Homo-oligomer: A and B are copies of this chain.
């Protein structure tokens, strides 16, 4: 199976997950969303768990390439990170945050999912921690423990995800809370205009 098919299966998995939810997701339904046969999917992924593990891995890769920006200015890096995290899902991916929350709720029953979510969290905190450390060195930000800031920002982002799903809240509201909290910690507020 070429990387083109893998990409197609991953995209089909995302669509099927949004449409049917975790409990009703089947290999057949994923096949129906793609031009790949159910047998071909089964050939590469023994179980639904393995397929979803690959899906989360793919999500991590996409996150990393999305935030792996070339900006040398740590202020710009933080702004671009917030743009990526608080991007409004497109109308066809409207249910993606819900599907992802279902997978998070499954993590206690699936070690593989938990490992992927831990990796994703590490990646998120790493982006913030590095940008904060670089910003302090460059004299842009107040002296503060970068690890603490990264942890607080990551946790508020986790909270934003729940609030979006459980309360139907717009991510913009949390973005504002993250910006105010960053201001309290590092004495600097990312401007939404930086990358616009």
Given A104-B101, A148-B180, A160 and B155 contact (CB-CB distance below 8 Å): yes
Partner of A105, one of B114, B160, B165, B185: B165
Total number of A residues with any Cβ neighbor in B under 8 Å = 38
Partner of A157, one of B151, B159, B167, B180: B159
Q: Whose C-beta in chain B lies nearest to the C-beta of A174?
A: B155
* Interface residues of chain A: helix, strand, loop or mixed (majority): helix
In the docked arrangement, what's the CA distance between A121 and B166, Å?
A: 10
> Min CB distance, A15 to chain B, in Å?
17
> Min CB distance, A163 to chain B, in Å?
6
Q: Which of A98, A152, A154 has the most CB of B within 10 A?
A: A152
Is A177 close to B, CB under 8 A?
yes
Going nearest first, the 7 A-B pairs with the smallest beta carbon separation are A159-B159, A158-B159, A155-B159, A104-B166, A184-B184, A158-B162, A101-B105
Q: List 23 A-B contacts (CB under 8 A).
A: A101-B105, A102-B102, A104-B165, A105-B165, A105-B166, A107-B167, A108-B168, A113-B166, A117-B167, A148-B177, A151-B173, A151-B177, A152-B181, A154-B159, A155-B174, A157-B159, A158-B158, A158-B160, A158-B162, A162-B162, A181-B181, A181-B184, A184-B185
